[in-house]
Amino acid sequence: MEKKQVTAGNTGIWGRFKTNHPAIAQFIVFFIISNGVTVLQMVMMPVIKYLFSFTSLVSTSFQILPIGHNLDGSVYYVFDYAAGSIGSGGGGGLAYFLAVEITLLIAQIINFFLQRNVTFKSDTSIGKAAVWYFIAWLIISVGAAALQGLYKAPVYDFFMNLMGEGAGMTVADIITMLINCVISFWVFFPILKIIFKEK
């Protein structure tokens, strides 16, 4: 009997909080789910990148969408993954690009359903919401990729010099994925409130 009262009290506290502060409660749930998905990305990305490191994709350059020049006069690409491993001075090639994008795709599919069903409790059409979610993700991905050109090389150089190539590269993988996740987190919340109308 006493156990039932404690459980009911706990449910009642969260229920009252959601009723009195619906936007804050929604943001808390969004925050928890987003952080869970971020942890998943930080585990997956280095693993996928490691698996691709044994393929010829590392030697395949993937540099598209030039949008100006770096300070040294070289072309600044939105997606800048020069051929060669990062440890040898390259940009990781197509292997790095695919590792990032496959990780993001898996994470965003999981995030889509959790945010739709748990955070926003939406009854909007899955197809319609998925299309808008994909468009938002595409825009955010391009923006995050363009920003990555500013911090990717310094982050990898710093941690590989500090910790050695192996450990430094793993930490840099996690840091770059974390920066990407933070950008997505702050941009996605207001967008998802529009995409996922509540029941």
State the pLDDT at residue 106.
Answer: 93
Q: Do the beta carbons of residue 59 and residue 153 sit within 8 Å?
A: no
Q: Is the pLDDT of residue 149 over 70?
A: yes
Q: Tell me, rounded to whole angstroms, the distance of Cα 68 from its chain centroid.
A: 25
**Distance from chain centroid for Cα 102:** 11
CB atoms closer than 10 angstroms to residue 143: 14
Question: Three-state DSSP class for 153?
Answer: helix
Overall average pLDDT of the 104-127 stretch: 90
CB 31 within 8 A of CB 85: no
Res. 8: pLDDT tops 60:
no
Residue 5 has pLDDT above 70, yes or no: no
Task: Enter the pTM of the model.
Answer: 0.77
Contact 80, 91 (CB under 8 A): yes
CA distance 96 to 138: 18
Helix axes 165-195, 126-163, angle to 10 degrees: 160
